[in-house]
Structure formats: structure tokens, C-alpha cells
Amino acid sequence: MALEVTPVHRNLHQRVTFFYLEFEDLFIVVALAAVMSIVGRFLDRELYGVPLNVVLQWGVPVLAIPFLMIFKYGKPRGYIQDLLVRYTKPRIYCGLEGDRQLTKEFLK
């Protein structure tokens, strides 16, 4: 019984994109749609005859896709995630941090 071998072409460096956005960025669009749906439930108004909850629920995420495409143009993979981590991590500002180079002898 011979072993059947099938060639498989793999490119691990290929970015998975949908609408020119990374898969992780689409979570931002879905989360934005959910938040706008909740906000829209509390607003009982109309915008040019269209209920504002529909405009917020569908219009804001649809407009967020081109904005993200333009914002991320030329940026490396995982840029949005790194940007969020940078702004959410606490920063350490301390005057007691040790010098990188000793200017005087420590022990005499």
C-alpha cells in the first residue's frame, strides 16, 4: 500500500485580510456596532427621516471601515493592538531609577 502525498503550498507570512483590514481589526468594527446599537436605543430621534438608532448602528461601523483602511495604510501588522497596549499600560516615571552608567565609584 503506497503512501499518497499531496503538495501543500503554505505562506505563513501572508496577512489574513478582509476589506483590506486584519482579522483583529474587524473585532473593532463589530464592537463599535454593538456599542452604537446600545447608544442608539436611548435616542428616540430621526436624521433626515431615518431613525437615529439605525444610522448609529449601521452608519458608524460602515464609515469606520474606510477610516481604519486609511489609518492603517503602510503600518506594520498588529499596529492597532500595539497602539492600544501602549496607551493602556501604566507608565513608570520615577526619579529613583538607577543610572545606566555609573559616574562615580560605588565602593571606595
Q: Tell whether 12 is covered by a domain.
A: no
- pLDDT band, residue 73 (cuts 50/70/90): confident
Is residue 100 classed exposed, middle or buried when 0-12, 13-18 and 19+ CB atoms within 10 A define those classes?
Answer: exposed
Q: Tell whether 61 is covered by a domain.
A: yes
Domains of the chain: total: 1
Q: Which domain holds residue 62?
A: 17-88
Give how far Cα 83 sits from Cα of 36, 56, 78, Å: 22, 25, 9
* Residue 13 near residue 65 (C-beta atoms within 8 A): no
Q: Tell whether 10 is covered by a domain.
A: no
In whole angstroms, give the CA distance from residue 107 to residue 93: 28
Is residue 73 classed exposed, middle or buried when 0-12, 13-18 and 19+ CB atoms within 10 A define those classes?
Answer: exposed
Structure confidence by residue, pLDDT tens digits, 12-65: 677 777 777 888 888 888 899 999 888 888 887 877 888 878 888 888 888 998
Return the percentage of the chain with pLDDT > 90, whole number.
2
- pLDDT band, residue 94 (cuts 50/70/90): low
